[in-house]
């Protein structure tokens, strides 16, 4: 009777060790990743004496998360293990758009919709694509193309109407399928899309304000 009891205790101990190992694995912290704002713009960009508010981008549930989305096929979405953005993707894009407008040095003031800034114009982004797509695969590695696409609407707050709308899209193939290289590709793609969106927005607002008889300030 003693031997079966000892065997039972040993098996229980081994099971306990396995459980602890799983818990240790699960308790390891995720790596958090930042993206950067755009800081270089066309020297011909006009200046507008207007206050701009950037709304939080709308997005599908697939990208409205702090997880880094990868599509192994066009009909499937997965997420990188043990890696996260520092915030939900739409909030990251909103903050970086605000900072990019500031870095342009061409607007009187810019902020997020939550700060209570009285806006002359509102930038309403829709984050359509923000993921990596597997475009090739070998036995040892995957080729991943990062896609960033956002639609931008500019709203005249005084007249409460959309004055312009356009889409900005960038594709960047990651150097490898390592997480660091994927994040770098996201940063490059988003940076290019934001630069184009900021320059387009400033020019559209400048033209609209110049042709608006209620306000002679451009």
Domain presence at residue 115: yes
pLDDT of 170 reads 98
Domain presence at residue 206: yes
Rounded CA-CA distance 96/101 in Å is: 9
Domain assignment of residue 22, yes or no: no
Rounded-to-integer distance, Cα 164 and Cα 174, Å: 33
Does 7 have pLDDT greater than 50? no
Task: Judge whether 17 lies within some domain.
Answer: no
In a domain, 124, yes or no: yes
Domain interval for residue 146 = 32-210
Please state at what angle helix 89-104 crosses helix 179-210, rounded to 10 degrees: 50
What average pLDDT score do residues 7-11 get? 37
Report residue 38's pLDDT band, with 50, 70 and 90 as the boundaries: very high
CA distances from 1 to 8, 9, 13, 15 (A): 11, 13, 19, 22
Number of domains in the chain: 1
Question: What is residue 133's predicted lDDT score, i.e. its pLDDT?
Answer: 97
Q: Kindly report which listed range (31-45, 48-62, 204-218) carries the lowest average pLDDT score.
A: 204-218
19 CA to centre of own chain:
36
pLDDT of residue 213: 67
Domain annotation covers residue 1: no
CATH label of the domain that carries residue 124: 3.40.50.10610
Q: Report the pLDDT value the prediction gives residue 29, as an integer from 0 to 100.
A: 76
Calculate the dihedral angle through the C-alpha atoms of 53, 54, 58, 61, rounding to the nearest 10 degrees.
-130
Question: Rounded mean pLDDT of 81-108?
Answer: 97
Query: 93: pLDDT confidence band, cut at 50, 70 and 90?
Result: very high
pLDDT, tens digit, 9 for 90 and up, residues 165-215? 999 999 999 999 999 999 999 999 999 999 999 999 999 999 999 988 665
- Residue 25 counted as domain residue: no
Q: What percent of the chain has pLDDT over 70?
A: 83
* The predicted structure's pLDDT at residue 214: 64
The per-residue pLDDT for 3 is 43
**Mean pLDDT across the chain, nearest whole number?**
87
Phi, psi of 27 (to 5 degrees): -85, -5
Q: Answer yes or no: is 21 within a domain.
A: no
Show Cβ contacts of residue 125 under 8 Å, excluding neighbours closer than 6 positions. Answer: 54, 55, 57, 58, 93, 94, 97, 150, 151, 152, 153, 197
Q: Is the pLDDT of residue 21 over 90?
A: no
pLDDT tens-digit series, residues 104-152: 999 999 998 766 678 999 999 999 999 999 999 888 889 999 999 999 9
User: What pLDDT score does 22 carry?
Assistant: 41
**% of residues, the chain, pLDDT over 90:** 75
């Amino acid at each position: 009777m003693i031997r079966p009891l000892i065997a039972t205790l040993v098996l229980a101990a081994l099971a306990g060790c396995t459980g602890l190992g799983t818990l240790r694995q699960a308790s390891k912290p995720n790596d958090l990743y930042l993206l950067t704002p755009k800081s270089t713009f066309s020297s011909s960009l006009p200046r507008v004496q207007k206050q701009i508010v950037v709304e939080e981008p709308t997005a599908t549930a697939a990208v409205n998360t702090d997880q880094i989305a990868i599509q192994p096929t066009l009909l499937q979405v997965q997420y990188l293990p043990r890696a996260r953005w520092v915030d939900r993707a739409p909030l990251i894009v909103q903050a970086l758009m605000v900072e990019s407008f500031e870095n342009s040095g061409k607007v009187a003031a810019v902020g997020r919709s939550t700060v209570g800034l009285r806006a002359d114009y509102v930038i309403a982004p829709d984050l359509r694509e923000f993921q990596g797509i597997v475009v090739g695969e070998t036995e040892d590695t995957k080729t991943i193309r990062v896609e960033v696409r956002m639609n931008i609407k500019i709203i005249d707050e005084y007249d409460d109407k959309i004055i312009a709308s356009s889409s900005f899209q960038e594709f960047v193939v990651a150097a490898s399928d390592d997480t660091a290289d994927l994040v770098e590709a996201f940063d490059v793609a988003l940076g290019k899309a934001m630069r184009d969106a900021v320059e387009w927005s400033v020019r559209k607002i400048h033209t609209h304000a110049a042709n608006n008889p209620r306000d002679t300030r451009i």
